[in-house]
Amino acid sequence: MSQFGKAFWIRLAILTLVGIFTLPPLSPPAVAKDLKIGAIFPLSGRGATWGMAAQKAITVKQKEVNAKGGIKVGGDTYKLEILWEDDKYNAAAGRMAAEKLVNRDRVKFILGSQSSAVILAVQPITEPGKILFLVNSYAKEVLSPDKPYTFRMVLTSNEILQGMYPWMSKTYPELKAVAFIEPNDASGWSIEKDCRRMAEQNKYQVIFSQFYERGTSDFYPLLNKMIAAKPDFVDFSGAPPGDQALIVKQMRELGYKGKTFSSTTMDPAEFCKIAGVQNAEGHISNTHDLLGAYTTEGQKKYYDGYIAVYGKPFDPVTPKYQVYLDVLLQALEKAGTLDTTKVMETMEKTEEWQTIFGPSKFGGKEHYGIKRQIVTPVYISEISQGNLINRGTMMPVLP
Amino acid sequence: MTFSFFVQVLVNGLMLGLTYVLIASGFSLIYGIMRLLNFAHGEFYMLGAFATYLLCEHLGVHYFTALALSMVIIGILGVLVYHFFFRPFRDEHDPSLVIALGIAMLIGGLALIIFGEKDKSVAPVFSGVIQVWGATLSRERVAVIVVAILMMAALTLYIKFSKTGQAMRAVAQDREAAALQGIGVDSTFTLCMGISSALAGAAGALLAPLFYVNPFLGMHAVLKALVVVVIGGLGSIPGAIVGGLLLGFVESFGNTFLGDITEMLGFVMVMIVLLFRPQGLFGHG
Amino acid sequence: MGKRGAGLLILLLALVAVPTFTQDPYLLNILITTGIWTTSVWGVRVIMSTGQLTLGHAAYMAIGAYASTLLTMKAGLSFWLAFPLAGLISSVVALLIGYPTLRIKGVYFAIITFAFAEIVRLLIVHWPSLLGGYGGIPNVPPPSPIFSISFKSRIPFYYLILALCLVTYLVMVRIDRGRIGKIFSSIHESDTLAESVGINIMRYKVLSFCIGCFFAGLSGSFYAHYFNFTSPEFFTIWQSVYCLVFVIVGGAGSVWGPLLGSFFMTLVPELLRVARELEPVIYAVILIAVMFLLPGGLVTLPARLRGKKVH
């Protein structure tokens, strides 16, 4: 017999019933002239690193704009309110989050997400509802001519590799054979396809490609086989940062001396900690040292803004997420209206945007069938003695 | 394929296998003696890794001290979990399984909130590699292999020869008969839970500097442990050892020669074993 | 009709009337999702009624989802044909798997269901040409119009799931009160005893398993055509575990258990919007609390409130 009295349970039941019938339809009290923008990102669980990075970058921009009084769209000024939802990196939760934002909070603009599965599950809500959806994720299917309200705000492996592979070819002409290691999941598969295509386009020979079970931390069996194939360099772009560091550590232990390469961004301090400073030497990645060479005024300002809000240390994964809100706000101001169709057309027609990465634009009509992929510079850096050294930068060509 | 390549495959299998044995042996012990499929076992492994991380990286404790402390901490945690959550359902089969599942979810969820999802690392104690018949092994791994073998040996001897170990075997065989003979079933269970959890914690502590530490380790570990003990035989320590090594070799060879389809092999083996010899290689009916 | 029947009728009328009071798609979505889970979890309950624990129910939802997706998208069948076929296919697979495995008892059977679920998920993933791999299959069509009702908004989906739940409820009640239900529970109590009275326990265990997986298949199919998307990520171990958790929280002893459990567990994370990442912790706490304080699940609450002794 329960030690809680009858009264307790009756009270609990009443409370629950009251909750069922009153709480859900309640939306937060609306403040006049507030522009509500939805954001769906992985804020917990796997992928939270990127989700939290996005949250930080977007918040920095939001605070900057609100401190100035808001943005001017048409004749009105709006303060920005970002409604954050956690998709936990899974499609069902992402879909629920989108339901909430679109149907309850009535947002017309959504930022996010990281996972292709989430985006694909959310688009059946956003596209018919003409909700402007600014996304990340690597899958090609996310952008297509029948989904005009979706724009991708971050470079995918397709564009990044388009910059990095020719650079590798030019800088290290002696490297000919490449090996791929990717995890067995959606992004791993999609990235491997892109890597393979780019490698072959740049006359590299793909002599090894294998996927590993998610959750693996002992890569010796896989690496043993890979090393026997004798690749000149190894590309593990699809692996999450911790795995990448482990792969590097273990392949160095096994005696592999070739170059390591990834087209993703990472935090050099954490990478070196897990891999070991000596093992990480020479690793090439798409990480941008914000205060090093190739820095723009916009980036310096963003850095200062970040430190003002979050303090040190600076999170190097964040800069690319700033572009989401930045470009959206510019588009709103340019269009002069909150009507999503007009904003969408403005985004399509505008030839150049000023972002913290310098001039950027949208492209992709040929590759994706629709001009919705942002094109920002690709940065190439190398780890040397535990530090990040900028090695080059270029703009991908995306007709 | 050269000789050294082949030796490497074997050595990799041994390494993988021993990590599985470390994780699975406690799991098997609990089932054998308590008839409980302790899904929370993997979470104890994960907590052992975190305990070591916190002790070494935040409190500056020397690694071997941290290893010992982690074992003790997690062992005590196991006892507490048993006392408050498992004991009330001791004699009910399905409810105890559900509670174990609930505890696993609880610990995993709390760890994620408290520690965050980023991978953490523990500084390794040994560095450098050695060569064994052409195969390479980092010194870290050699140390883990040695410690794992010592632990398994100690466990086996303990179960076989010590008085409490024999009490455990008696309870495993027939709970009621053992009780009639004056063996405290509850104290035996408590001891079993403590030792198994300490083992899981030790596994976590040992493997932490080798790989990385994050709250998701638990689920992966318990899945592997499940596969190992089913193959080896639920409740048998020699079974856990043989099962673990077998899985390690299968995965090493699988990943080398078959590619990523290896992911499925463990579960296929489980189904085959359960269909044709449910008690596993060494289990008893 | 009796007090009970009248109460049920009122509930049904209230549910049917919901869309006339609110067309809020958000609220409807919660109800529809709850309905999907309830259907599937009723299936778990049927399986548990013979004393078997299933840790792999999501796999049969996946089979239903992918079967109806392929039947509508590749074979050009109408949803109205694919939907029941999906349930049927799931139950056929259940038959094939159940027959050799159900003679295995207790925890071993639970492990088999679990291993099979993982194998199904990995098969789906490793057959990308047909099953879309990790990315899943997007653009799954909604049900084709029927009786001149088209499925463009939420409301037709709501009525469809309501109808499905009603049918499932009636089937479950019929099973419970009928001869089959009595046999199921006698097997649960003691299968040696049941066998000694001449009951072919294997046959009935397989039957309960097939029935349970039939409804899993139906719910999976509905899921795919409602979300317009199916992916192996929808059908992981956690979904299977949640199915089990919902039944236990609701109470496996009554047909109302799965309904209460699904409703309660879907609602709680919605009410506690602020603590999003706490969801698995909240589920775990509820599960443990129910096991300790309310064994028998939420269905036993009214009886306890009345002071009755419940075991």
* Mean pLDDT value of segment A98-127: 90
Q: A371, A369, A393, A372: which is closest to A381 by C-alpha?
A: A393
Considering only the beta carbons, identify the residue of B37, B102, B274 that sits closest to C112.
B274
What is the rounded distance in angstroms from the CA atom of residue C192 to the CA atom of residue B216?
42
Q: Is the pLDDT of residue A25 over 50?
A: no
Q: Is the pLDDT of residue A236 over 80?
A: yes
Q: Any chain B CB within 8 A of the CB of A246?
A: yes
- Cα torsion B69, B73, B74, B79 to 10°: value is 140
User: Strand locations in chain B, DSSP E?
Assistant: 129-132, 135-138
Tens-digit pLDDT profile for residues B130-172:
888 888 888 988 999 999 999 999 999 998 898 888 888 888 8
Does residue C298 lie in a domain region?
A: no
Tell me the nearest-neighbour CA distance from A215 into chain C, angstroms. 15
Q: What's the confidence (pLDDT) of residue A10?
A: 60
Integer angstrom CA distances of residue C247 from A303, C51, C243, C297, C310: 51, 14, 7, 8, 17
The total number of structural domains that make up chain C: 1
* Domain covering B3-276, topology: ABC transporter involved in vitamin B12 uptake, BtuC (1.10.3470)
Q: What's the confidence (pLDDT) of residue A3?
A: 46
Considering only the beta carbons, identify the residue of A13, A117, A189 that sits closest to C233.
A117
Selected for mutation to probe chain C from A3, A4, A8, A20 (highest C CB count within 10 Å) is A20
pLDDT band at C310 (very low <50, low <70, confident <90, very high): low
Class of domain A34-152+295-376: alpha beta
pLDDT band at A28 (very low <50, low <70, confident <90, very high): very low
Residues of C in contact with A10 (CB under 8 A): 305
**Selection from B107-116, C107-116, C213-222 with the highest mean pLDDT:** C213-222
Residues of C in contact with B105 (CB under 8 A): 241, 280-281, 283-284, 287
Considering only the beta carbons, identify the residue of B5, B214, B216 that sits closest to A224.
B5
Q: Contact C133/A95, CB-based, under 8 Å? A: no
Q: Is the pLDDT of residue A285 over 90?
A: yes
Please give the single-letter amino acid code of residue C37: W
Tell me the nearest-neighbour CA distance from A337 into chain B, angstroms. 40
Q: Any chain A CB within 8 A of the CB of B216?
A: yes
Supply the DSSP string of A313-335, one letter for each residue: SP-TTSHHHHHHHHHHHHHHHHH
**Is A34-152+295-376's fold the same as A158-290+383-394's?**
yes
Q: C222, C297, C275: which is closest to C39 by C-alpha?
A: C222
Which chains sit next to B, with 3 or more Cβ pairs under 8 A?
A, C
Backbone φ and ψ for B156, nearest 5 degrees, come out as -60, -45
| Percent of all residues in chain A with a pLDDT value above 70, rounded to a whole number | 91
What is the rounded distance in angstroms from the CA atom of residue C275 to the CA atom of residue A293?
42
* Mean pLDDT value of segment A144-156: 93
Q: Hey, what are C234's tokens?
A: 């929808």
At residue B119's C-alpha, the angle toward residues A305 and A56, to 5°, is 20
Q: What's the confidence (pLDDT) of residue A247?
A: 96
Does residue C252 lie in a domain region?
A: no
Q: Contact C111/B230, CB-based, under 8 Å? A: yes
Mode of pairing for the β-strands spanning C229-230 and A76-86: unpaired
* Mean pLDDT value of segment B64-74: 95
Q: Is the pLDDT of residue C190 over 70?
A: yes
Tens-digit pLDDT profile for residues B16-56:
999 999 999 999 999 888 888 899 999 999 999 999 999 99
Q: Contact C277/B230, CB-based, under 8 Å? A: no
Does residue C207 lie in a domain region?
A: yes
Residues of C in CB contact (< 8 Å) with A are 22, 24-27, 29-30, 33, 125, 128, 133-136, 138, 227-229, 231, 233-234, 267, 270-271, 276-277, 279, 293-294, 301, 304-305, 307, 309
Backbone φ and ψ for A254, nearest 5 degrees, come out as -80, 0
Q: Contact C233/A103, CB-based, under 8 Å? A: no
Considering only the beta carbons, identify the residue of A210, A221, A274 that sits closest to B12.
A221
Does residue C106 lie in a domain region?
A: yes
Domain ranges of chain B: 3-276
Q: Which domain holds residue C31?
A: 25-235
User: What chain B residue is nearest to C124 in terms of C-alpha separation?
Assistant: B264
Pick the CATH number of A158-290+383-394 from 3.90.1150.10, 3.30.460.10, 3.40.50.2300, 3.30.70.60: 3.40.50.2300
* Mean pLDDT value of segment C31-48: 94
Tens-digit pLDDT profile for residues C203-223:
999 999 999 999 999 999 999
Show Cβ contacts of residue C12 under 8 Å, excluding neighbours closer than 6 positions: C166
* Mean pLDDT value of segment C100-107: 84
* Mean pLDDT value of segment C168-190: 91
Q: Which of A203-217, C2-16, C128-142, C177-191 has the lowest mean pLDDT?
A: C2-16
Domain ranges of chain A: 34-152+295-376, 158-290+383-394
Does residue C279 lie in a domain region?
A: no
What is the three-class DSSP state of B190? helix
Q: Contact A211/B259, CB-based, under 8 Å? A: yes
Which H/E stretch holds residue C120? helix C106-125
Q: What's the confidence (pLDDT) of residue A126?
A: 93
DSSP state letter for C153: S
User: What chain C residue is nearest to A88 in terms of C-alpha separation?
Assistant: C277
Q: Is the pLDDT of residue C35 over 90?
A: yes
Q: What's the confidence (pLDDT) of residue A22?
A: 46
Which chains sit next to C, with 3 or more Cβ pairs under 8 A?
A, B
What is the three-class DSSP state of B252? helix
